[in-house]
Amino acid sequence: MKFFIVLFAFICVASAAIFQHQLHKVESTRKRLTKAGKWPAYMKYKNFLRQQAKDQVLASVSQNVNDYDDLEYLGNITIGTPGQQFVVVLDTGSSNLWIPDVTCGQGGSSDCPSYCSDADFCQFLCDPSCCSSEKSAKSNCDGKNKFDSSKSSTYVKNGQSWTIQYGSGDANGFLGQDTVTFLGSKGNLAIPKTTFGQAQQISSDFANDPTDGILGLAFTSLAVDGVTPPIILANQQGLLDKPLFTVYLQHDGAVNGKIGGVFTYGAIDSTNCGPVIAYQPLSSATYWQFKMNTIALGSATFSTGWDVISDTGTSLLAAPSSIADSIASAAGATYNDEYQSYLVSCTAKVSDMILTIGSNKYTIPGSKLVDDVGIGNGQCMFGVFGMDIGMGLSFILGDPFIESYCNIFDFGNNRIGFAQSK
């Protein structure tokens, strides 16, 4: 996730079974709070929340690699007949589709944790109804588009409960089934009988961003309750030319509110991407997970071999903490406790990063690892952060990698391909 949010205009091209999203940049929670000088405090509160969550038992699958403060890929969809419109995160790091239900947050929160009495904690960690200065607010669902099943002629009740714990918060509710439609100016992709989550509660993390919900693009095996992700279901119903989608992110220079890239469903994007360099088999068809042999930047080289994932929901590159420290040092970046990130001079000439995947080397220009997020004093965010993920994973390859190489997510053959971005 970069420090922008991206909104999609959905268009159909070439064939009735090939669809594209054009991406538009919008400011993210991280950049907004950084500009306002509130990001360090926000990180402190989030760490407190994560510590609290360790003691909770969730009847669900945990998807802790996801943190949506930097979310940037949003798509317009409708659910039901007639369609009710929602703006959702398009996320290759998760598998479920959920949006707020009409009952989401009704009556606010009547059970406020004790730490909500602290005004600073309350603004980030608690339902607004728990905060004395926010008495007029209804809930974390306030301001979101909400699904009303009574207004859809194609809705089928399921009722099974679900809970998902992400790295940045959680959501829970019940399941339903209806037609999910990806909207486009020239055509729509309607996917009948899609099972989706109707959220009755969402955490304050989701309340802080302008999205309604999340549309996961990973595999069924990762999905909570084994729900089939919409794009997998579309392929099963014969709605796509090929069982794959391509992600192209525009190179540095995309302007806030302007087109920033393209998602292409059912085909390889030959307009924005060069020939496929290679395909890499997935080591696990859960996340988009595969093997990486080496990583190098300047004097720092590591060649242990790891399981990594490609994730459109991550703006940076996540690495094991010890490796991240060495890479940051080689780039001239230092860790800042206040921002909980590596900072580097905005004028630094950072060396290119070289990744070896299979028998091929992939270069991430050093310029893509220096991001001005509004810290000031000539300081920029370095594009690598330490994260000891667990679950057999070591690295997350986010936007700096996907901007450099189009990613072809081939779920029909359980592989991922890479092509030079044009």
Q: Is 92 helix (H, G, I), strand (E, B) or coil?
A: coil
* Whether residue 311 lies in the annotated active site: yes
Catalytic residue selected from 67, 69, 91, 127: 91
CA–CA gap between residue 137 and residue 243 (Å, rounded): 44
Q: Give the helix ranges, DSSP H, for 128-192.
A: none
Calpha distance 133→94 (Å, rounded): 35
159: left (phi over 0), alpha (psi -120 to 50) or beta: left
Take residue 265 and report the two structure tokens written for it. Answer: 């469903």
Q: Which residue has the tokens 């190489």?
A: 405
Q: Kindly list the distances between the CA atom of residue 243 and the CA atoms of 16, 161, 235, 272, 410, in Å, as whole numbers in the listed order.
A: 14, 30, 6, 19, 6
Place of tokens 């009952």: 103
Which of 266, 257, 250, 243 has the alpha carbon at shortest distance from 187?
Answer: 266
Pick the closest to residue 395 from 93, 121, 57 (CA basis). 93
| 127 flagged as catalytic | no
Alpha-carbon distance of 270 to 268, in angstroms, equals 6
Q: Kindly name the residue from 209, 269, 307, 311 that is annotated as catalytic.
A: 311
Both tokens of 206, joined, read 């989701």
| Residues with a known catalytic role | 91, 311
